[in-house]
Amino acid sequence: MKTEKVNVAVIGVGNMGRHHVRAYSELAEVNLVALSDLKSQLGKEMVERFHIRFYPDYREMLEKEDIDAISVVVPTAVHKEVALDCIQRGKAVLIEKPLADSAEAGDQIIEEAEKHKVTVLVGHVERFNPAVLKLKELMEEGKLERITSVIARRVGISPPQLKEANVIVDLAVHDIDVCNFLLGKIPQQVYARAGKALNSQRADFASIFLDYNGTDVLIQANWITPVKIRELNVTGTKGYVELNYITQKLKLYESNYHRGFDSFGDFIVRFGTPNIREVDVKTAEPLKMELRHFIACVENRKKPLVSGKDGLNALKIALSAVQSWEEERVVRIDTAL
């Protein structure tokens, strides 16, 4: 195990990349040495603020700097190119979600990482949301018993920097990954409806139905709702949970019922008032939790909570949802994912 700080760099300092730079600078176990971006003005602003070196060409940065780990926060279309350049130089990489712009590109990244024995973490940041982790704990303890349905809403206005992104692959993929994580499996099939409401160039709203073999999941995602909503509701045979990703609040409704027979001999279930409680969640910034986990994986050669395969699964399911929308049919998911 290393005792010195881990040398880190960031490639891409747009809307999300600058948050990586800021969060790394606040981690005691990290030495943030450099960043790279095609837009020199952005880079210079970050250099002045954080007193690190800047490179317009990330390849020059890779050649000149002693770097252990890198956050790849560039447009999805160039994830593969940048990630492979880093991996082939033996650098651990955190690749912002989605893993890549195609399943084939995702496969190449994973294969190259395995070949070079390099750590890859895919930036599905909601996995590190304390409320999600607490919900996973409640589910594993059997507080909800058998999960029958999950409903997720991830809606709001479109980020101005996103020009060609698809709402399913770029936004709904968050909740696809969270559901895979919470349920511990991937869906068998998907049916999706989507459309272009405010932007004729890309899908900006979608409803996605996922069949997890006994658990039904409905994900609503859009870039047209004027208010930002990030919610997840889980129903089980023993209770119901409301989760707010933004406030990190978790409310548990514990079912109060008993089974029996009425005076006619018919089987009935009688419901009483549920026990309602706010679950104690120790709030924290998910991104900082994610970066700290990434650094720990690099130091101790641990398997990341969100591996390359996890990121690839979420991507393939999202792409299957796009296919379902375009072909207007149910699409089976490859269970060998």
Residues 6+ apart with CB under 8 A from 93: 69, 70, 71, 72, 83, 86, 87, 113, 118, 119, 120, 121
How many angstroms separate the CA atoms of 27 and 284, rounded?
Answer: 14
Handedness of CA 259, 260, 263, 268 (dihedral sign): positive
- pLDDT tens string 102-161: 999 999 999 999 999 999 999 999 999 999 999 999 999 999 999 999 999 999 998 766
Residue 277: φ, ψ to 5°? -145, 145
pLDDT classification of 264: cutoffs 50, 70, 90: low
How many angstroms separate the CA atoms of 136 and 159, rounded?
Answer: 29
Are the C-beta atoms of residues 193 and 200 closer than 8 Å to each other? no
**Is pLDDT above 90 for 162?**
no
Q: Which residue intervals of the chain are DSSP H helices?
A: 17-25, 40-50, 58-64, 79-87, 103-116, 130-140, 167, 173-183, 286-300, 308-327
Tally the C-alpha atoms within 13 A of residue 4's C-alpha that lie toward its C-beta: 6
Domain segments of the chain as ranges: 6-124+288-306, 127-284+315-332
Q: What is the reported pLDDT for 1?
A: 44
How many angstroms separate the CA atoms of 92 and 304, rounded?
Answer: 11
- pLDDT tens string 200-236: 788 999 999 999 999 999 999 999 999 999 999 999 9
**Is pLDDT above 80 for 238?**
yes
Are the C-beta atoms of residues 264 and 273 closer than 8 Å to each other? no
CATH entry, 127-284+315-332, from 3.40.120.10, 3.50.50.60, 3.30.2320.50, 3.30.360.10: 3.30.360.10
CATH entry, 6-124+288-306, from 3.30.479.10, 3.90.600.10, 3.40.50.2020, 3.40.50.720: 3.40.50.720
